[in-house]
Structure 1
Amino acid sequence: MAGPFRWFAERRERGKRRRGNADGTMSLKEHLYELRHRLALALLFVTIGAVFGFIWFGVRLGPVPSLGDIMTAPYCQPDLAPYRVQFPGETSCKLLQTEPFEAFMIRLQVGTAAGAVLLSPFWLYQFWAFITPGLYAKERNFARSFVFFAAILFAAGAVLAYLVVPEGLQVLISFGGDEFITALTGGKYISFVITMLFIFGVSFELPLLVVMLNRAGVVSYEKLHKWRRGLLMGLFVFAAIATPGTDPLSMVVLAVALSLLFEMAIQIARVHDKRKAKLRAAEGWDALDDNEPAPFDYTPSDADGELPGEKAVASEQPKRVNYDDAT
Protein backbone atom coordinates (compact mmCIF):
# COMPACT_ATOMS: atom_id res chain seq x y z
CA MET A 1 0.00 0.00 0.00
CA ALA A 2 3.01 2.26 0.14
CA GLY A 3 2.87 2.90 -3.62
CA PRO A 4 -0.57 4.62 -3.82
CA PHE A 5 -0.01 6.62 -0.64
CA ARG A 6 3.36 7.81 -1.87
CA TRP A 7 1.83 8.76 -5.25
CA PHE A 8 -0.88 10.86 -3.60
CA ALA A 9 1.71 12.47 -1.30
CA GLU A 10 3.90 13.42 -4.24
CA ARG A 11 0.87 14.72 -6.10
CA ARG A 12 -0.14 16.91 -3.15
CA GLU A 13 3.41 18.21 -2.72
CA ARG A 14 3.64 19.18 -6.40
CA GLY A 15 0.33 21.02 -6.12
CA LYS A 16 1.62 22.99 -3.14
CA ARG A 17 4.80 23.95 -4.97
CA ARG A 18 2.83 25.07 -8.00
CA ARG A 19 0.43 27.18 -5.97
CA GLY A 20 3.38 28.71 -4.21
CA ASN A 21 4.81 30.02 -7.48
CA ALA A 22 3.41 33.41 -8.41
CA ASP A 23 3.71 32.71 -12.15
CA GLY A 24 2.56 29.08 -11.97
CA THR A 25 5.79 27.73 -13.46
CA MET A 26 6.73 24.05 -13.25
CA SER A 27 9.87 22.11 -14.01
CA LEU A 28 10.06 19.58 -16.85
CA LYS A 29 9.78 16.72 -14.38
CA GLU A 30 6.67 18.24 -12.81
CA HIS A 31 5.15 18.71 -16.28
CA LEU A 32 5.69 15.03 -17.05
CA TYR A 33 4.11 14.05 -13.73
CA GLU A 34 1.16 16.33 -14.51
CA LEU A 35 0.77 14.81 -17.97
CA ARG A 36 0.84 11.29 -16.51
CA HIS A 37 -1.79 12.26 -13.96
CA ARG A 38 -4.09 13.77 -16.60
CA LEU A 39 -3.71 10.80 -18.94
CA ALA A 40 -4.50 8.40 -16.10
CA LEU A 41 -7.69 10.30 -15.23
CA ALA A 42 -8.72 10.47 -18.90
CA LEU A 43 -8.19 6.72 -19.27
CA LEU A 44 -10.19 6.13 -16.10
CA PHE A 45 -13.19 8.07 -17.46
CA VAL A 46 -12.96 6.24 -20.81
CA THR A 47 -12.94 2.91 -18.96
CA ILE A 48 -15.97 3.90 -16.88
CA GLY A 49 -17.75 4.92 -20.08
CA ALA A 50 -16.87 1.62 -21.72
CA VAL A 51 -18.32 -0.37 -18.81
CA PHE A 52 -21.48 1.72 -18.90
CA GLY A 53 -21.83 1.32 -22.68
CA PHE A 54 -21.22 -2.44 -22.47
CA ILE A 55 -24.08 -2.77 -19.97
CA TRP A 56 -26.33 -0.37 -21.89
CA PHE A 57 -25.89 -2.45 -25.05
CA GLY A 58 -28.33 -5.07 -23.73
CA VAL A 59 -30.40 -3.09 -21.18
CA ARG A 60 -33.04 -0.43 -21.66
CA LEU A 61 -32.66 2.75 -19.60
CA GLY A 62 -36.28 3.58 -18.91
CA PRO A 63 -37.75 5.19 -22.04
CA VAL A 64 -34.35 5.06 -23.77
CA PRO A 65 -33.94 1.88 -25.84
CA SER A 66 -30.87 -0.29 -25.46
CA LEU A 67 -27.75 0.55 -27.41
CA GLY A 68 -28.10 -2.69 -29.37
CA ASP A 69 -31.63 -1.73 -30.48
CA ILE A 70 -30.41 1.73 -31.51
CA MET A 71 -27.61 0.27 -33.63
CA THR A 72 -29.76 -2.41 -35.30
CA ALA A 73 -32.77 -0.16 -35.93
CA PRO A 74 -31.66 0.88 -39.45
CA TYR A 75 -31.22 -2.78 -40.47
CA CYS A 76 -34.48 -3.90 -38.85
CA GLN A 77 -36.71 -1.31 -40.52
CA PRO A 78 -39.90 -2.77 -42.09
CA ASP A 79 -38.92 -1.67 -45.60
CA LEU A 80 -35.98 -4.11 -45.58
CA ALA A 81 -38.08 -7.10 -44.46
CA PRO A 82 -38.46 -8.50 -48.02
CA TYR A 83 -34.67 -8.49 -48.47
CA ARG A 84 -33.66 -9.96 -45.08
CA VAL A 85 -33.18 -13.66 -44.52
CA GLN A 86 -35.52 -15.16 -41.93
CA PHE A 87 -34.23 -18.31 -40.24
CA PRO A 88 -36.72 -20.99 -39.12
CA GLY A 89 -38.10 -20.35 -35.66
CA GLU A 90 -36.97 -16.71 -35.62
CA THR A 91 -39.57 -13.96 -35.59
CA SER A 92 -37.40 -10.99 -34.62
CA CYS A 93 -34.72 -9.17 -36.59
CA LYS A 94 -31.20 -10.26 -35.63
CA LEU A 95 -27.71 -9.96 -37.02
CA LEU A 96 -25.63 -12.98 -37.99
CA GLN A 97 -22.68 -14.11 -35.85
CA THR A 98 -20.06 -16.12 -37.76
CA GLU A 99 -17.25 -16.23 -35.16
CA PRO A 100 -17.31 -17.35 -31.51
CA PHE A 101 -16.39 -13.97 -29.97
CA GLU A 102 -17.83 -11.72 -32.65
CA ALA A 103 -20.84 -10.63 -30.59
CA PHE A 104 -18.70 -9.94 -27.52
CA MET A 105 -16.21 -7.83 -29.49
CA ILE A 106 -19.02 -5.90 -31.19
CA ARG A 107 -20.65 -5.19 -27.85
CA LEU A 108 -17.32 -4.06 -26.39
CA GLN A 109 -16.52 -1.90 -29.42
CA VAL A 110 -19.89 -0.17 -29.56
CA GLY A 111 -20.07 0.22 -25.78
CA THR A 112 -16.61 1.79 -25.63
CA ALA A 113 -17.43 4.24 -28.42
CA ALA A 114 -20.77 5.23 -26.87
CA GLY A 115 -19.29 5.55 -23.37
CA ALA A 116 -16.41 7.66 -24.63
CA VAL A 117 -18.84 10.02 -26.34
CA LEU A 118 -21.13 10.31 -23.31
CA LEU A 119 -18.26 10.97 -20.89
CA SER A 120 -16.24 13.08 -23.34
CA PRO A 121 -16.63 16.29 -21.26
CA PHE A 122 -14.85 14.59 -18.35
CA TRP A 123 -11.85 13.10 -20.17
CA LEU A 124 -11.48 16.04 -22.55
CA TYR A 125 -11.35 18.34 -19.53
CA GLN A 126 -8.16 16.56 -18.40
CA PHE A 127 -6.36 17.58 -21.57
CA TRP A 128 -7.82 21.06 -21.30
CA ALA A 129 -6.61 21.38 -17.71
CA PHE A 130 -3.10 20.37 -18.81
CA ILE A 131 -2.71 22.93 -21.63
CA THR A 132 -4.75 25.87 -20.31
CA PRO A 133 -2.09 27.17 -17.84
CA GLY A 134 0.15 27.93 -20.82
CA LEU A 135 -2.49 29.94 -22.72
CA TYR A 136 -3.44 33.59 -22.51
CA ALA A 137 -7.02 34.59 -21.80
CA LYS A 138 -7.79 35.35 -25.46
CA GLU A 139 -6.29 32.05 -26.53
CA ARG A 140 -8.37 30.17 -23.96
CA ASN A 141 -11.55 31.86 -25.17
CA PHE A 142 -10.63 31.05 -28.77
CA ALA A 143 -9.93 27.40 -27.98
CA ARG A 144 -13.08 27.11 -25.86
CA SER A 145 -15.24 28.41 -28.73
CA PHE A 146 -13.54 26.06 -31.20
CA VAL A 147 -14.15 22.99 -29.03
CA PHE A 148 -17.78 24.00 -28.36
CA PHE A 149 -18.73 24.42 -32.03
CA ALA A 150 -16.67 21.38 -33.05
CA ALA A 151 -18.65 19.19 -30.66
CA ILE A 152 -21.97 20.55 -31.94
CA LEU A 153 -21.01 20.03 -35.59
CA PHE A 154 -19.72 16.51 -34.97
CA ALA A 155 -22.95 15.56 -33.18
CA ALA A 156 -25.04 17.08 -35.99
CA GLY A 157 -23.09 15.10 -38.59
CA ALA A 158 -23.48 11.86 -36.63
CA VAL A 159 -27.25 12.39 -36.27
CA LEU A 160 -27.60 13.09 -39.99
CA ALA A 161 -25.63 9.93 -40.78
CA TYR A 162 -27.89 7.85 -38.52
CA LEU A 163 -30.92 9.19 -40.38
CA VAL A 164 -29.35 8.45 -43.75
CA VAL A 165 -28.16 4.90 -42.95
CA PRO A 166 -31.63 3.24 -43.31
CA GLU A 167 -32.23 4.82 -46.70
CA GLY A 168 -28.71 4.03 -47.83
CA LEU A 169 -29.07 0.40 -46.77
CA GLN A 170 -32.33 0.09 -48.64
CA VAL A 171 -30.71 1.39 -51.82
CA LEU A 172 -27.69 -0.90 -51.48
CA ILE A 173 -29.64 -4.04 -50.59
CA SER A 174 -32.29 -3.55 -53.28
CA PHE A 175 -29.70 -3.56 -56.08
CA GLY A 176 -29.79 -7.37 -56.16
CA GLY A 177 -33.53 -7.51 -56.70
CA ASP A 178 -35.21 -10.87 -56.15
CA GLU A 179 -32.05 -12.82 -56.98
CA PHE A 180 -30.37 -12.07 -53.61
CA ILE A 181 -31.27 -12.36 -49.95
CA THR A 182 -29.45 -10.41 -47.21
CA ALA A 183 -28.03 -11.77 -43.96
CA LEU A 184 -25.58 -9.16 -42.67
CA THR A 185 -22.97 -10.25 -40.17
CA GLY A 186 -22.72 -8.22 -37.00
CA GLY A 187 -19.11 -7.14 -37.59
CA LYS A 188 -19.69 -5.89 -41.15
CA TYR A 189 -22.89 -4.06 -40.29
CA ILE A 190 -21.64 -2.36 -37.11
CA SER A 191 -18.43 -1.30 -38.88
CA PHE A 192 -20.53 0.21 -41.66
CA VAL A 193 -22.72 2.18 -39.26
CA ILE A 194 -19.83 3.43 -37.09
CA THR A 195 -17.85 4.43 -40.17
CA MET A 196 -20.81 6.39 -41.48
CA LEU A 197 -21.24 8.21 -38.16
CA PHE A 198 -17.53 9.01 -37.98
CA ILE A 199 -17.21 10.17 -41.60
CA PHE A 200 -20.22 12.48 -41.38
CA GLY A 201 -19.12 13.86 -38.00
CA VAL A 202 -15.56 14.61 -39.10
CA SER A 203 -16.73 16.03 -42.44
CA PHE A 204 -18.89 18.57 -40.63
CA GLU A 205 -15.70 20.00 -39.09
CA LEU A 206 -14.43 21.25 -42.47
CA PRO A 207 -16.48 24.50 -42.50
CA LEU A 208 -15.32 25.25 -38.95
CA LEU A 209 -11.73 24.81 -40.12
CA VAL A 210 -12.37 27.35 -42.88
CA VAL A 211 -13.72 29.87 -40.36
CA MET A 212 -10.73 29.38 -38.05
CA LEU A 213 -8.26 29.82 -40.92
CA ASN A 214 -10.03 33.02 -41.87
CA ARG A 215 -9.88 34.30 -38.30
CA ALA A 216 -6.17 33.51 -38.21
CA GLY A 217 -5.59 35.49 -41.41
CA VAL A 218 -4.56 32.49 -43.53
CA VAL A 219 -7.52 32.56 -45.92
CA SER A 220 -9.45 35.68 -46.89
CA TYR A 221 -13.02 36.03 -48.11
CA GLU A 222 -11.81 37.16 -51.53
CA LYS A 223 -9.92 33.91 -52.03
CA LEU A 224 -12.83 31.82 -50.77
CA HIS A 225 -15.22 33.68 -53.09
CA LYS A 226 -12.83 33.15 -55.98
CA TRP A 227 -12.39 29.44 -55.23
CA ARG A 228 -16.08 28.80 -54.44
CA ARG A 229 -16.90 26.72 -57.53
CA GLY A 230 -13.78 24.60 -57.29
CA LEU A 231 -14.25 24.02 -53.57
CA LEU A 232 -17.88 23.00 -54.02
CA MET A 233 -16.82 20.56 -56.73
CA GLY A 234 -14.16 19.24 -54.36
CA LEU A 235 -16.78 18.70 -51.65
CA PHE A 236 -18.86 16.52 -53.98
CA VAL A 237 -15.78 14.52 -54.93
CA PHE A 238 -14.86 14.17 -51.26
CA ALA A 239 -18.37 12.96 -50.41
CA ALA A 240 -18.21 10.38 -53.21
CA ILE A 241 -14.90 9.02 -51.89
CA ALA A 242 -15.54 9.29 -48.15
CA THR A 243 -18.93 7.58 -47.85
CA PRO A 244 -18.30 3.88 -47.13
CA GLY A 245 -21.53 2.61 -48.66
CA THR A 246 -20.92 4.24 -52.08
CA ASP A 247 -24.69 4.60 -52.44
CA PRO A 248 -25.81 7.74 -54.29
CA LEU A 249 -28.16 8.86 -51.53
CA SER A 250 -25.48 9.08 -48.82
CA MET A 251 -23.09 10.86 -51.18
CA VAL A 252 -25.66 13.45 -52.22
CA VAL A 253 -26.84 14.11 -48.64
CA LEU A 254 -23.27 14.56 -47.36
CA ALA A 255 -22.27 16.76 -50.31
CA VAL A 256 -25.34 19.00 -50.00
CA ALA A 257 -24.92 19.36 -46.23
CA LEU A 258 -21.22 20.23 -46.60
CA SER A 259 -22.03 22.72 -49.35
CA LEU A 260 -24.55 24.52 -47.15
CA LEU A 261 -22.14 24.60 -44.22
CA PHE A 262 -19.31 25.78 -46.47
CA GLU A 263 -21.47 28.60 -47.84
CA MET A 264 -22.28 29.59 -44.27
CA ALA A 265 -18.56 29.62 -43.49
CA ILE A 266 -17.90 31.87 -46.49
CA GLN A 267 -20.52 34.36 -45.30
CA ILE A 268 -19.00 34.37 -41.81
CA ALA A 269 -15.62 35.08 -43.39
CA ARG A 270 -17.15 37.92 -45.41
CA VAL A 271 -18.56 39.57 -42.29
CA HIS A 272 -15.26 39.11 -40.43
CA ASP A 273 -13.15 40.58 -43.25
CA LYS A 274 -15.51 43.52 -43.66
CA ARG A 275 -15.32 44.26 -39.94
CA LYS A 276 -11.52 43.96 -40.00
CA ALA A 277 -11.30 46.31 -42.98
CA LYS A 278 -13.35 48.94 -41.14
CA LEU A 279 -11.07 48.61 -38.12
CA ARG A 280 -7.96 49.04 -40.25
CA ALA A 281 -9.43 52.13 -41.89
CA ALA A 282 -10.41 53.62 -38.52
CA GLU A 283 -6.94 52.99 -37.06
CA GLY A 284 -5.22 54.28 -40.19
CA TRP A 285 -3.18 51.12 -40.76
CA ASP A 286 -3.50 51.28 -44.55
CA ALA A 287 -2.05 54.80 -44.64
CA LEU A 288 1.14 53.75 -42.86
CA ASP A 289 4.42 53.42 -44.71
CA ASP A 290 6.05 49.99 -44.90
CA ASN A 291 8.89 51.19 -42.66
CA GLU A 292 6.55 52.85 -40.13
CA PRO A 293 5.59 50.82 -37.03
CA ALA A 294 1.94 49.83 -36.60
CA PRO A 295 -0.03 51.60 -33.84
CA PHE A 296 -0.16 48.60 -31.52
CA ASP A 297 -0.49 49.01 -27.78
CA TYR A 298 2.18 46.88 -26.16
CA THR A 299 1.16 47.77 -22.61
CA PRO A 300 0.25 44.52 -20.82
CA SER A 301 -3.13 44.28 -19.16
CA ASP A 302 -5.22 41.69 -17.40
CA ALA A 303 -7.71 41.71 -20.25
CA ASP A 304 -5.00 40.59 -22.65
CA GLY A 305 -4.31 37.53 -20.57
CA GLU A 306 -1.42 38.61 -18.40
CA LEU A 307 0.15 35.75 -16.57
CA PRO A 308 -0.13 35.60 -12.77
CA GLY A 309 2.72 37.44 -11.12
CA GLU A 310 3.66 39.31 -14.31
CA LYS A 311 3.20 42.72 -12.71
CA ALA A 312 5.16 41.69 -9.68
CA VAL A 313 8.03 40.43 -11.80
CA ALA A 314 8.03 43.58 -13.90
CA SER A 315 8.10 45.79 -10.80
CA GLU A 316 11.11 43.95 -9.46
CA GLN A 317 13.21 44.69 -12.55
CA PRO A 318 16.05 47.18 -11.89
CA LYS A 319 15.38 50.71 -13.07
CA ARG A 320 17.58 52.11 -15.82
CA VAL A 321 19.85 54.95 -14.67
CA ASN A 322 20.75 57.86 -16.92
CA TYR A 323 24.40 58.52 -16.06
CA ASP A 324 24.47 61.72 -18.11
CA ASP A 325 21.88 63.31 -15.79
CA ALA A 326 23.68 61.97 -12.71
CA THR A 327 26.90 63.68 -13.67
Structure 2
Amino acid sequence: MPLAEHLREFRKRIVLAAVGIALGMVAGWYLYTPVFEALQKPVLDAARQDDALVTVNFSGIATALDMQIKMSLVLGIVVSAPWWLYQLWAFVAPGLHQRERRYTFAFLGAAVPLFFSGVAFGWWVFPRAIRVLTGFTPDGAANFLDAQLFMTFAMRLILAFGLAFVFPVVMVALTWTRLVRGRTWLHGWRWAVFLIFLAAAILTPTPDAVTMLFMAGPMVVLYFSAVGICMLRDRSFERRQDREAVE
Protein backbone atom coordinates (compact mmCIF):
# COMPACT_ATOMS: atom_id res chain seq x y z
CA MET A 1 0.00 0.00 0.00
CA PRO A 2 1.48 3.42 -0.99
CA LEU A 3 2.31 5.95 1.71
CA ALA A 4 -0.54 8.27 0.70
CA GLU A 5 -3.04 5.42 1.10
CA HIS A 6 -1.54 4.54 4.49
CA LEU A 7 -2.04 8.13 5.63
CA ARG A 8 -5.61 8.20 4.36
CA GLU A 9 -6.34 4.91 6.10
CA PHE A 10 -4.75 6.22 9.30
CA ARG A 11 -6.89 9.39 9.15
CA LYS A 12 -10.01 7.31 8.51
CA ARG A 13 -9.36 5.09 11.53
CA ILE A 14 -8.58 8.06 13.77
CA VAL A 15 -11.84 9.75 12.76
CA LEU A 16 -13.88 6.58 13.32
CA ALA A 17 -12.22 6.01 16.71
CA ALA A 18 -12.93 9.64 17.67
CA VAL A 19 -16.60 9.28 16.67
CA GLY A 20 -16.86 6.16 18.85
CA ILE A 21 -15.25 7.93 21.80
CA ALA A 22 -17.57 10.93 21.31
CA LEU A 23 -20.58 8.63 21.48
CA GLY A 24 -19.03 6.98 24.53
CA MET A 25 -18.77 10.43 26.11
CA VAL A 26 -22.57 10.67 25.99
CA ALA A 27 -22.79 7.52 28.09
CA GLY A 28 -19.96 8.84 30.26
CA TRP A 29 -21.92 12.02 30.95
CA TYR A 30 -24.74 9.99 32.51
CA LEU A 31 -22.30 7.68 34.31
CA TYR A 32 -20.45 10.62 35.86
CA THR A 33 -22.47 10.86 39.09
CA PRO A 34 -22.30 7.17 40.14
CA VAL A 35 -18.62 6.95 39.12
CA PHE A 36 -17.73 10.12 41.03
CA GLU A 37 -19.57 8.86 44.10
CA ALA A 38 -17.70 5.55 43.89
CA LEU A 39 -14.34 7.33 43.57
CA GLN A 40 -15.19 9.70 46.42
CA LYS A 41 -16.23 6.87 48.74
CA PRO A 42 -12.69 6.00 49.94
CA VAL A 43 -12.20 9.68 50.85
CA LEU A 44 -15.36 9.70 52.95
CA ASP A 45 -14.43 6.35 54.48
CA ALA A 46 -11.00 7.70 55.42
CA ALA A 47 -12.59 10.75 57.01
CA ARG A 48 -14.90 8.58 59.14
CA GLN A 49 -12.17 6.12 60.05
CA ASP A 50 -9.70 8.79 61.19
CA ASP A 51 -12.36 11.18 62.49
CA ALA A 52 -10.78 13.90 60.35
CA LEU A 53 -11.96 16.47 57.84
CA VAL A 54 -11.07 14.97 54.46
CA THR A 55 -13.11 16.03 51.44
CA VAL A 56 -12.93 16.69 47.71
CA ASN A 57 -12.94 20.43 47.10
CA PHE A 58 -14.22 22.18 43.94
CA SER A 59 -12.33 25.46 44.12
CA GLY A 60 -13.92 27.34 41.20
CA ILE A 61 -17.35 28.13 39.80
CA ALA A 62 -16.78 26.14 36.61
CA THR A 63 -14.62 23.42 38.18
CA ALA A 64 -17.49 20.96 38.60
CA LEU A 65 -18.57 21.34 34.95
CA ASP A 66 -14.98 21.13 33.70
CA MET A 67 -14.45 18.00 35.77
CA GLN A 68 -17.60 16.36 34.46
CA ILE A 69 -16.53 16.99 30.86
CA LYS A 70 -13.07 15.53 31.46
CA MET A 71 -14.43 12.52 33.28
CA SER A 72 -16.99 11.96 30.53
CA LEU A 73 -14.12 11.87 28.03
CA VAL A 74 -12.20 9.27 30.04
CA LEU A 75 -15.35 7.23 30.60
CA GLY A 76 -16.04 7.51 26.87
CA ILE A 77 -12.60 6.03 26.15
CA VAL A 78 -13.31 3.15 28.53
CA VAL A 79 -16.85 2.47 27.28
CA SER A 80 -15.84 2.60 23.61
CA ALA A 81 -12.69 0.46 24.06
CA PRO A 82 -13.93 -2.40 21.85
CA TRP A 83 -14.58 0.07 19.02
CA TRP A 84 -11.25 1.95 19.04
CA LEU A 85 -9.32 -1.28 19.61
CA TYR A 86 -11.02 -2.62 16.49
CA GLN A 87 -9.96 0.52 14.58
CA LEU A 88 -6.37 -0.08 15.71
CA TRP A 89 -6.49 -3.60 14.35
CA ALA A 90 -8.28 -2.52 11.17
CA PHE A 91 -5.41 -0.14 10.43
CA VAL A 92 -2.90 -2.98 10.78
CA ALA A 93 -5.00 -5.69 9.07
CA PRO A 94 -4.41 -4.57 5.44
CA GLY A 95 -0.80 -5.70 5.90
CA LEU A 96 -1.97 -9.27 6.55
CA HIS A 97 -2.79 -11.97 4.07
CA GLN A 98 -6.45 -12.69 3.49
CA ARG A 99 -6.35 -15.90 5.52
CA GLU A 100 -4.68 -14.07 8.40
CA ARG A 101 -7.38 -11.41 8.74
CA ARG A 102 -9.56 -13.94 10.53
CA TYR A 103 -7.37 -13.24 13.57
CA THR A 104 -9.36 -10.03 14.05
CA PHE A 105 -11.64 -11.82 16.49
CA ALA A 106 -8.64 -13.30 18.30
CA PHE A 107 -7.10 -9.82 18.67
CA LEU A 108 -10.31 -8.27 19.98
CA GLY A 109 -11.05 -11.34 22.08
CA ALA A 110 -7.75 -10.83 23.89
CA ALA A 111 -7.37 -7.04 23.84
CA VAL A 112 -10.83 -6.08 25.10
CA PRO A 113 -10.87 -8.35 28.19
CA LEU A 114 -7.29 -7.38 29.02
CA PHE A 115 -8.11 -3.67 28.77
CA PHE A 116 -11.09 -4.03 31.09
CA SER A 117 -9.04 -6.24 33.42
CA GLY A 118 -6.44 -3.47 33.64
CA VAL A 119 -9.16 -0.89 34.31
CA ALA A 120 -10.60 -3.13 37.04
CA PHE A 121 -7.14 -3.58 38.54
CA GLY A 122 -6.58 0.19 38.58
CA TRP A 123 -10.01 0.62 40.17
CA TRP A 124 -8.97 -1.86 42.86
CA VAL A 125 -5.70 0.00 43.54
CA PHE A 126 -7.23 3.49 43.70
CA PRO A 127 -9.15 3.32 47.03
CA ARG A 128 -6.15 1.72 48.72
CA ALA A 129 -3.99 4.57 47.45
CA ILE A 130 -6.42 7.13 48.86
CA ARG A 131 -6.54 5.45 52.27
CA VAL A 132 -2.74 5.40 52.50
CA LEU A 133 -2.17 8.94 51.27
CA THR A 134 -4.87 10.57 53.40
CA GLY A 135 -3.55 8.64 56.38
CA PHE A 136 -0.58 11.02 56.52
CA THR A 137 -2.85 13.95 57.46
CA PRO A 138 -1.82 15.13 60.99
CA ASP A 139 -4.36 14.98 63.81
CA GLY A 140 -6.50 18.08 63.98
CA ALA A 141 -5.67 19.11 60.41
CA ALA A 142 -8.02 19.22 57.43
CA ASN A 143 -7.27 17.73 54.03
CA PHE A 144 -9.08 19.47 51.18
CA LEU A 145 -8.35 17.42 48.05
CA ASP A 146 -8.46 19.54 44.92
CA ALA A 147 -11.12 18.02 42.66
CA GLN A 148 -9.06 18.51 39.49
CA LEU A 149 -5.97 16.80 40.89
CA PHE A 150 -8.02 14.11 42.64
CA MET A 151 -9.98 13.05 39.57
CA THR A 152 -6.99 13.41 37.24
CA PHE A 153 -5.01 11.07 39.50
CA ALA A 154 -7.89 8.56 39.52
CA MET A 155 -8.51 8.62 35.77
CA ARG A 156 -4.84 8.46 34.79
CA LEU A 157 -4.20 5.58 37.18
CA ILE A 158 -7.14 3.56 35.87
CA LEU A 159 -6.42 4.28 32.19
CA ALA A 160 -2.70 3.56 32.63
CA PHE A 161 -3.44 0.06 33.85
CA GLY A 162 -5.95 -0.54 31.08
CA LEU A 163 -3.47 0.45 28.37
CA ALA A 164 -0.59 -1.41 30.06
CA PHE A 165 -2.59 -4.64 30.02
CA VAL A 166 -3.32 -4.20 26.30
CA PHE A 167 0.32 -3.66 25.29
CA PRO A 168 1.19 -7.41 25.14
CA VAL A 169 -1.59 -7.88 22.57
CA VAL A 170 -0.12 -5.02 20.52
CA MET A 171 3.26 -6.78 20.73
CA VAL A 172 1.73 -9.94 19.26
CA ALA A 173 -0.08 -7.93 16.56
CA LEU A 174 3.15 -6.22 15.50
CA THR A 175 4.90 -9.59 15.28
CA TRP A 176 1.97 -11.10 13.36
CA THR A 177 2.33 -8.38 10.73
CA ARG A 178 6.12 -8.94 10.62
CA LEU A 179 6.83 -5.37 11.72
CA VAL A 180 8.71 -6.56 14.83
CA ARG A 181 10.25 -10.01 15.21
CA GLY A 182 9.75 -12.06 18.33
CA ARG A 183 13.51 -12.16 18.86
CA THR A 184 13.51 -8.38 19.15
CA TRP A 185 11.07 -8.53 22.06
CA LEU A 186 13.08 -11.34 23.64
CA HIS A 187 16.41 -9.53 23.35
CA GLY A 188 14.89 -6.43 24.95
CA TRP A 189 13.44 -8.27 27.97
CA ARG A 190 15.84 -6.62 30.45
CA TRP A 191 14.78 -3.14 29.38
CA ALA A 192 11.15 -4.22 29.38
CA VAL A 193 11.30 -5.58 32.93
CA PHE A 194 13.16 -2.47 34.09
CA LEU A 195 10.55 -0.16 32.55
CA ILE A 196 7.69 -2.25 33.98
CA PHE A 197 9.09 -2.00 37.50
CA LEU A 198 9.87 1.68 37.02
CA ALA A 199 6.29 2.34 35.96
CA ALA A 200 5.00 0.27 38.89
CA ALA A 201 7.19 2.23 41.32
CA ILE A 202 5.83 5.52 39.97
CA LEU A 203 2.20 4.40 39.99
CA THR A 204 2.32 2.59 43.32
CA PRO A 205 0.91 4.93 45.95
CA THR A 206 2.44 3.05 48.87
CA PRO A 207 6.15 2.95 49.70
CA ASP A 208 6.36 -0.80 50.34
CA ALA A 209 7.98 -3.15 47.81
CA VAL A 210 5.25 -5.78 48.18
CA THR A 211 2.61 -3.56 46.56
CA MET A 212 4.98 -2.61 43.76
CA LEU A 213 5.72 -6.29 43.06
CA PHE A 214 2.02 -7.07 43.12
CA MET A 215 1.42 -4.39 40.48
CA ALA A 216 4.43 -5.23 38.31
CA GLY A 217 3.94 -9.02 38.49
CA PRO A 218 0.94 -9.30 36.14
CA MET A 219 2.61 -6.97 33.62
CA VAL A 220 5.81 -9.07 33.59
CA VAL A 221 3.80 -12.28 33.17
CA LEU A 222 1.80 -10.75 30.31
CA TYR A 223 5.00 -9.49 28.65
CA PHE A 224 6.73 -12.88 28.66
CA SER A 225 3.52 -14.61 27.59
CA ALA A 226 3.41 -12.27 24.61
CA VAL A 227 7.10 -12.93 23.88
CA GLY A 228 6.39 -16.68 23.87
CA ILE A 229 3.53 -16.25 21.39
CA CYS A 230 5.72 -14.00 19.22
CA MET A 231 8.51 -16.59 19.17
CA LEU A 232 6.05 -19.30 18.12
CA ARG A 233 4.84 -16.98 15.35
CA ASP A 234 8.43 -16.50 14.15
CA ARG A 235 8.99 -20.25 14.01
CA SER A 236 5.74 -20.80 12.12
CA PHE A 237 6.64 -18.11 9.60
CA GLU A 238 10.15 -19.52 9.10
CA ARG A 239 8.82 -23.06 8.57
CA ARG A 240 6.36 -21.77 5.99
CA GLN A 241 9.15 -19.94 4.19
CA ASP A 242 11.25 -23.13 4.15
CA ARG A 243 8.36 -25.13 2.66
CA GLU A 244 7.79 -22.49 0.00
CA ALA A 245 11.53 -22.47 -0.86
CA VAL A 246 11.54 -26.26 -1.26
CA GLU A 247 8.47 -26.17 -3.49
TM-score by length of 2: 0.72
**How does 1:274-289 map onto structure 2 within 5 Å?**
276=236, 280=239, 285=242
**How does 1:1-327 map onto structure 2 within 5 Å?**
39=15, 43-58=18-33, 66-78=34-46, 81-82=49-50, 84-85=52-53, 95-121=56-82, 136-178=97-139, 180-212=141-173, 214-215=175-176, 216=178, 218-220=181-183, 224=186, 228=189, 231-241=192-202, 243=203, 245=205, 247-248=207-208, 251-269=212-230, 272=232, 276=236, 280=239, 285=242, 294-295=245-246
Asked whether the equivalents of residues 46 and 134 of structure 2 are also in contact (C-alpha less than 8 Å), the reply is no
Percent sequence identity over matched residues? 24
> How far off is 1:124 after superposition?
6.2
CA distance in 1, matches of 2:92, 2:234: 33
Unpaired runs of at least 5, structure 1: 1-27, 59-65, 87-93, 287-292, 297-327
Please give the per-residue CA displacement for 1:149-187, whole angstroms capped at 9, x wherever unaligned.
Answer: 222222111110110111122222223443743221211
Task: Check 1:205–1:163 CA distance in 2 against 1; reply closer, same or farther (3 A cut).
Answer: same
SS in structure 1 of the partner of residue 181 of structure 2: coil
Asked whether the equivalents of residues 102 and 187 of structure 1 are also in contact (C-alpha less than 8 Å), the reply is yes
Please give the per-residue CA displacement for 1:92-117, whole angstroms capped at 9, x wherever unaligned.
Answer: xx521101111111112112322343
CA distance in 2, matches of 1:237, 1:172: 20
CA distance in 2, matches of 1:198, 1:284: 40
Asked whether the equivalents of residues 172 and 247 of structure 1 are also in contact (C-alpha less than 8 Å), the reply is no
> How far off is 1:191 after superposition?
0.4
> How far off is 1:232 after superposition?
2.9
The structure carrying a bigger strand percent of its residues is: 2
Please give the per-residue CA displacement for 1:80-135, whole angstroms capped at 9, x wherever unaligned.
Answer: 6417416xxxxxxx521101111111112112322343244456667877886786
Query: For residue 236 of structure 2, what is the amino acid of its counterpart?
Result: K
Query: For residue 110 of structure 1, what is the amino acid of its counterpart?
Result: M
Query: For residue 124 of structure 2, what is the amino acid of its counterpart?
Result: L
CA distance in 2, matches of 1:230, 1:133: 31
SS in structure 2 of the partner of residue 98 of structure 1: coil
Asked whether the equivalents of residues 192 and 245 of structure 1 are also in contact (C-alpha less than 8 Å), the reply is no
SS in structure 2 of the partner of residue 184 of structure 1: strand
Asked whether the equivalents of residues 84 and 181 of structure 1 are also in contact (C-alpha less than 8 Å), the reply is yes
TM-score by length of 1: 0.57
- Matched pairs, number: 241
Unpaired runs of at least 5, structure 2: none
CA distance in 1, matches of 2:173, 2:94: 22
Task: Check 1:176–1:96 CA distance in 2 against 1; reply closer, same or farther (3 A cut).
Answer: closer
Q: Which residue of 2 aligns with 1:324?
A: none
Query: For residue 294 of structure 1, what is the amino acid of its counterpart?
Result: A
Q: Which residue of 2 aligns with 1:23?
A: none
Task: Check 1:231–1:168 CA distance in 2 against 1; reply closer, same or farther (3 A cut).
Answer: same
CA distance in 1, matches of 2:19, 2:192: 42
> How far off is 1:69 after superposition?
1.8
Return the index of the structure with the highest Cα Rg.
1
Q: Which residue of 2 aligns with 1:305?
A: none
